[in-house]
A = this chain, B = another copy of it.
């Protein structure tokens, strides 16, 4: 398979496949006589792995580690689990931060008339003029 077909088969764009290769996430592909990258089923399988890991929000760096563990028949599942748990924590941290933002924003928006008049607690809060729209 050429890179285009590999892209379709794996759900990873050709651009990204080349990128992953360049940064060492996946090994360099075989090349045809003329220099085209060739992909066999095993390579596609790896690409799907990468795709799925990205969908779960793992960083490229983490994916490199996960792939190494995947290939390592002597891995300990503890190592994999630790990576997953750390990632969960990272995600939860981001979620919490965003939820705080949403809570504040929703609160401010609720108190904003949203009409043609200029008075707006949202701007007042941003400006620090708000005298607190009921305790943030």
Contact = CB atoms under 8 A, between A and B. Distances in A.
Interface of A: 45, 48-49, 52-53, 55-57, 66, 69-70, 72-78, 80-82, 84-85, 87-88, 91-92, 94-95, 98-99, 101-102, 104-106, 108-109, 112-120, 122-123, 125-128
A23 to B, nearest CB: 19
A84 B120 CA distance: 11
Prevailing SS type, chain A contact patch:
helix
A14 to B, nearest CB: 21
A127 to B, nearest CB: 5
Contacts of A88: 102, 105-106, 109
Nearest to A74: B118
